[in-house]
């Protein structure tokens, strides 16, 4: 049995909450979604939460809300899950790839500044693998250009002593099982702006003037109208029921992941291997634990194969969109740091059932694989 790279923490409480939602007879977007929105927004320090079907659809809604369209540029890291750049393309706009910091893997004020153009309509900053990006510094160089935060991986991370999401113009979150808390599929947009939240609720639900839940609650006497062309990006109450239980687990999950990451750091240090860590401006939830391969190490495929042979299910590091066929021929400037991280890093197993022995085995297999 291989050591998996990630494992969602799901228990009887989630099963019971889902069963209760089913028994209630209300399975579409309803009271549980509303409760999850409120609880999640509170936890990340935002005024409003708008639940959606995924982080990807949440990012699309954020850009659509800001009026991003054909002819516009949006600055985005190539070093991210491909959904970040794809959301820009959904709007018919042009992703402008900016390079990242070698230690955090995130956009910085300098790399964003270098990528701004006269056509820049928005900047999308990713808190990559849970490591907080320095949003205030980036907003300072972006000026009037709005900054959208791809916080897919960042629930439970902190920035300048506050939760990531606190003070964000717009932040999009993911509840895919590869993240710290899950609803199967699912996402959330958070913002402090009440008018934006209202428009986002309409945009996720076909542009309806009255939500289906409110119309039902009113006894069906209200006739809705469709005030703009929009989307069906709703979350279900079955998912939200799970989300509410998962949210209660978040602090414990973060604490345990940080302890496991500290053990990895202790085991890796004697071998001179450098791994993701807290930046000066915040703390990470260690959504992914990535390690840079030394110069002398074999190629990434060989390293992953060697780890697999020892029963360790590692992954290539964070991907780079511009290296994928979908972005072939897409113009971009030099992305040296992005390419180094994408091609020369590995993600090690990190989940709640990982034992001391597992961690020792993972590190010994890695040290052997890199030829140390
Ligand atoms: C996982 C992830 C997404 C996509 O989230 P979904 O909820 O699966 O749509 C977007 N951006 C980043 C950085 C991610 O890690």
pLDDT per residue as tens digits for the range 156-171? 999 999 999 999 999 9
State whether the beta carbon of 155 lies less than 6 angstroms from ligand 1.
Answer: no
Residues 154 and 197 in one domain: yes
Which protein residue's CA is at the shortest distance from atom 2 of ligand 1? 152
Measured CA to CA, the distance from residue 98 to residue 335 in angstroms comes to: 7
**Closest Cα to residue 64, out of 89, 46, 44, 40?**
89
**pLDDT tens across 271-280, in order?**
999 999 999 9
* pLDDT computed for residue 355 by the predictor: 97
**Ligand 1 site, residue 56, Cβ cutoff 6 A:** yes
- Check whether 372 has a pLDDT greater than 70: no
Residue 86 lies in a domain: yes
Q: Is the CB of 171 under 6 A from ligand 1?
A: no
Q: Which helix (H) or strand (E) holds 274?
A: none
Residue 97 beta carbon below 6 angstroms from any ligand 1 atom: no
Residues 206, 354, single domain; the answer is no
Residue 25 domain flag: yes
Q: Tell whether 4 is covered by a domain.
A: no
pLDDT at position 211: 86
Please check whether residue 20 lies inside any domain of the structure.
yes
Confidence at residue 289, expressed as pLDDT on a 0 to 100 scale:
98
Q: 34 and 179 share a domain?
A: yes
Task: Give CA separation, 369 vs 23, 310, 348, 362, in Å.
Answer: 51, 10, 13, 10
The CATH number linked to 173 is 3.40.640.10
Residue 3 lies in a domain: no
Quick one: 199 and 180 in the same domain? yes
Same domain as 89, residue 32: yes
The whole-angstrom separation of Cα 5 and Cα 288 is 9
Report the CATH number that the domain containing residue 325 is assigned in CATH: 3.90.1150.10
179 is catalytic: yes
In a domain, 1, yes or no: no
Q: Are residues 188 and 59 in the same domain?
A: yes
Centre of ligand 1 from the C-alpha of residue 261, in Å: 22
Q: Which of 144, 103, 146 is nearest to 125 (CA)?
A: 146
How does pLDDT run across 228-273, given as a tens digit for each residue?
999 999 999 999 999 999 999 999 999 999 999 999 999 999 999 9
In terms of domains, do 93 and 144 share one?
A: yes
* CA 95 to ligand 1 centroid distance, Å: 17
**Number of domains forming the structure of the chain:** 2
> Which tens digits make up the pLDDT trace of 18-75?
999 999 999 999 999 999 999 999 999 999 999 999 999 999 999 999 999 999 999 9
3-class DSSP assignment, residue 310:
coil
174 C-alpha to ligand 1 centroid (Å): 6
Q: Are residues 279 and 349 in the same domain?
A: yes
Which of the following is catalytic: 38, 113, 121, 179?
179
Domain residue limits at 308: 251-369
175-214 residue pLDDT tens: 999 999 999 999 999 999 999 999 999 999 999 998 888 8
For 85, the enclosing helix (H) or strand (E) is helix 83-90
d(CA 187, CA 50): 9
Structural domain contains residue 2: no
Q: Is the CB of 129 under 6 A from ligand 1?
A: no
Characterize the bridge pairing of strands 120-126 and 73-77. parallel
Nearest atom of ligand 1 to the alpha carbon of 126 = 13
Q: Which of 5, 55, 173 to mutate to test the pocket of ligand 1 (most atoms within 8 A of CB)?
A: 55
> Is 157 touching ligand 1 by the criterion CB < 6 Å?
no
| 3 state SS of 341 | helix
Q: Which one, of 365, 345, 362, 359, lies nearest residue 293 by Cα?
A: 345
Closest ligand 1 atom number to CA of residue 174: 7
Q: Is 73 in the pocket of ligand 1 (CB under 6 A)?
A: no
Residue that terminates a domain, selected from 201, 220, 247: 247
259, 343: one domain = yes
SS3 246: helix
Ligand 1, pocket-test mutation among 5, 81, 127, most atoms within 8 A of CB: 81
- Answer yes or no: is 256 within a domain: yes
pLDDT, tens digit, for every residue of 72-87? 999 999 999 999 999 9
Check whether residue 212 and residue 145 sit in a common domain: yes
The reply to whether 102 and 200 lie within a common domain is: yes
Last-in-domain residue among 247, 272, 303: 247
Q: What is the pLDDT confidence band of residue 136, given thresholds at 50, 70 and 90?
A: very high
Of ligand 1's atoms, which has the minimum distance to the CA of residue 179? 1
Distance CA 318, CA 260 (A): 20
**Ligand 1 within 6 A of CB of 174:** yes
- Domain end marker among 232, 247, 262: 247
Q: Within this chain, do residues 121 and 168 fall inside the same structural domain, yes or no?
A: yes
Pull the structure tokens for residue 341.
């991280």
């Amino acid at each position: 049995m291989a050591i998996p790279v990630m494992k969602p923490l799901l228990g009887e409480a989630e099963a019971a909450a889902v069963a209760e939602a089913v028994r209630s007879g209300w399975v579409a977007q309803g009271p549980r979604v509303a409760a999850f929105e409120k609880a999640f927004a509170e936890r990340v320090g935002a005024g409003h939460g708008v639940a959606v079907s995924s982080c990807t659809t949440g990012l699309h809604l954020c850009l659509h809300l800001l009026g991003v369209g054909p002819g516009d540029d949006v600055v985005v890291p190539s070093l991210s899950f491909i959904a970040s750049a794809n959301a820009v393309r959904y709007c018919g706009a042009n992703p402008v790839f900016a390079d990242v910091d070698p230690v955090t893997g995130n956009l910085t004020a300098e790399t964003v500044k270098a990528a701004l153009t006269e056509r820049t309509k928005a900047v999308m900053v990713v808190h990559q693998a849970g490591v907080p990006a320095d949003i205030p510094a980036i907003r300072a160089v972006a000026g009037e250009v709005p900054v959208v935060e791809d916080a897919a991986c960042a629930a439970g991370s902190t920035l300048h002593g506050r939760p990531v999401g606190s003070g964000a113009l717009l932040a999009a979150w993911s509840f895919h099982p590869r993240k710290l808390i899950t609803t199967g599929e699912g996402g959330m947009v958070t913002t402090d702006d009440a008018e934006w939240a209202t428009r986002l609720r309409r945009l996720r639900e076909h542009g309806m003037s009255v939500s289906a839940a409110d119309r039902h609650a009113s006894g069906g006497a209200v006739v809705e109208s469709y005030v703009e062309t929009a989307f069906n990006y709703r979350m279900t109450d079955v998912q939200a029921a799970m989300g509410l239980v998962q949210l209660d687990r978040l602090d414990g999950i973060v604490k345990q992941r940080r302890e496991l990451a500290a053990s990895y750091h202790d085991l890796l240090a004697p071998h001179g291997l450098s791994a993701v860590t807290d930046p000066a401006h915040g703390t990470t939830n260690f959504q992914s634990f990535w390690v840079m391969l030394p110069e002398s190490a074999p190629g990434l495929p060989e390293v992953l194969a060697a780890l697999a042979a020892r029963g360790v299910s590692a992954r290539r590091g964070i991907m780079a969109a511009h290296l994928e066929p979908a972005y072939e021929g897409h113009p971009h400037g030099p992305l040296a740091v992005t390419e180094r991280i994408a091609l020369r890093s590995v993600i090690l197993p990190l989940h709640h059932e990982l034992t001391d022995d597992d961690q020792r085995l993972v590190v010994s297999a890695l040290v052997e694989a890199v030829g140390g």
